Amino acid sequence: PHASIPFPTAMAYNMSKAAIDQMAKTAALEVAKFGIRVNIIHPGWIDTPGERKFSSEQALQAGGSFIPLGRLGTSEEIAEAILVLCDPRHGYMTGATLLVDGGISLPWWSLPTE
């Protein structure tokens, strides 16, 4: 979500994510004539050893509760998304960004809950 949502105190990180979007789209245009596809995944907050190194279980659970699906994602879910992009059945997909973020990039915080 950092590519499209300006998280405070994360300017350089936000900018790098937005730059990756443009890089992938540009690369997709440049190599399409060779039959090469370029797609990217935007993962949300994923439960990884790195996250656990800096956050307690309680903090991860609390943070996950703010995600629309109510939890952090898993590495396995990101791997499954990669398989979708690699699958030849999706051979007409290029220059795409696949959001795998539990809905965190949706504008759910501004919508009524009932």
> Is 13 considered catalytic here?
yes
Contact 48, 74 (CB under 8 A): no
The catalytically annotated residue of 13, 59, 69, 108 is 13
**d(Cα 50, Cα 87) in Å, to the nearest integer?**
29
Q: What span, in angstroms and rounded, lies between the C-alpha atoms of 51 and 71?
A: 14
Identify whether the C-beta of residue 1 lies closer than 8 Å to the C-beta of residue 100.
Answer: no
Q: Which uninterrupted H or E stretch holds 86?
A: helix 75-86
Catalytic residue ranges: 13
